[in-house]
Chain A
Amino acid sequence: MKNIKKPMDVEVKLIHPEENEYVRIGCHEIDERVEEITGFVKSRQGNLEGILNGEVFSIPIVDIYYAESVDEKTFLYLKDETYESRKRLYELEEVLEPHHFVRISKSLVVNLMKIDSIKPFVNARFLCKLKNGEEIIISRKYVKDLKNKLRGEDR
C-alpha cells in the first residue's frame, strides 16, 4: 500500500526586524515536495541594482516585469517604475534566467510570472500582455526558446 503523506503544518511567525528572515522546513525526508518548496523559496530570492534619478536602489528580482536594451542602455521595468541597469542585457539574462525569465526578442528578457496572456501579432510574431497591462512583442525567432522554457526543456 502506498504511503500517503500527511499535509505539512504551516507556521508563520513575526520576528524582530534586526533578525534575518528565514524559511525552515521540518521534514522526514528531502523528497520532491520539499525540493519544490525550497526551489520556490530560492526563486523568490535575489536583488538587482537599479538607478532612478541618480539614486541606486536594490530591486527584488521577483518585482521585475522585463528588462530591455534601448540604444546601448539597459532598463528594468517594474509595475509602474523604470530603472536603469549598469549591466548589459546578456549579463542580466544570465542572472535572471533561473528566476523564470526568458529572452523573447533581441532586446528584451521577460519574467514569465508577470505574463498575463499571449496572442498572435502580425508577421508570425506574438503580443505578450503583462499583468500591469503593458504589451510587448515576442519575436518569431524566440518563440521556440519560450516554448522550451515553459516545458522545462533546455534550449
Chain B
Amino acid sequence: MKEHFKENFRNYFIVVTLINLLMLVTGKIFAPEQRFGYEVFIYPLVYGALGLIPSIFFPEKKECSMKEYVIRQMIGAIMTAIIIDGVIFTGKEMTKEYIVIALVNAVGVFVIYALVNLITWVLDSKTARELNEELTAYQEKLIPRGRG
C-alpha cells in the first residue's frame, strides 16, 4: 500500500509537469492570444489528480506481464482522457473547435502516459546500474575473481 502511494505520488508530480508542458504547447497552437488569471495554476494540479484516478481505484492486484501492463496503461489513458475532457466540456455545446481541442487533449494524455513511463524507465535505469554495481561487489567479496 505504501509503495502504491509512493508510486502515485511520484507519478503525480511527473504528470503535473507534463500537463504544464501540454497546456503550453496546445495553447501556443490553438489560442496564442488567450490570457488567463492566477486560477490557471490550479489546472495542472487538478488534471494531474484526475489522471491518477484509474490507478488509485484500480490498483494492480498481482504482478502483471509486459502485455498486461501495456493494456492496463492504455485503458488508464483512455479513462483519463474521458475524465479530463468530461470535466472541461461538460455542459458546453460541442463545436468543431471544441472537438478538435478534446481530441488534442486525448492525444496529449497518451503522450503524457508514454512520457511518464519513459521518465520512470530512466530513473529506474539509474537504480538498476547501482544494483548491478552492488551485486558485483557482493559476489566478488564472496568469490573473488582471478582467485581459486
Contacts and interface: CB of A to CB of B under 8 A. Distances in A.
A147 B124 contact: no
A120 B127 contact: yes
A132 to B, nearest CB: 15
Interface stretch (A14-22, A24-32, A73-81, A109-117): A109-117
Contact of A151 (B60, B66, B134): B134
Task: State the main secondary structure of chain B at its contact with A.
Answer: helix
B69 A120 contact: no
B51 to A, nearest CB: 16
B69 A118 contact: no
B128 A118 contact: yes
Interface in A73-124: 100, 105-106, 112-113, 115, 117-124
B125 A120 contact: yes
Contacts of A100: 138, 142
Contacts of B135: 112, 115, 117-118, 150
Main secondary structure of the interface of A (DSSP, over half): mixed
B139 to A, nearest CB: 6
B117 interface: yes
B69 A123 contact: yes
Contacts of A118: 128, 131-132, 135
B63 A139 contact: yes
Given A118-B135, A122-B66, 15 more contacts: A100-B138, A112-B139, A113-B139, A117-B135, A118-B131, A119-B128, A120-B121, A123-B120, A124-B124, A126-B127, A139-B63, A147-B130, A147-B131, A150-B134, A150-B137
B93 interface: no
A146 interface: yes
Interface residues of A, number: 28
B39 interface: no
Interface string B60-71: 100110100110
Nearest to B60: A123
A40 B142 contact: yes
Interface in A36-70: 40, 43
B120 A113 contact: no
A125 to B, nearest CB: 7
Contacts of B121: 120
B77 to A, nearest CB: 14
Nearest to A144: B3
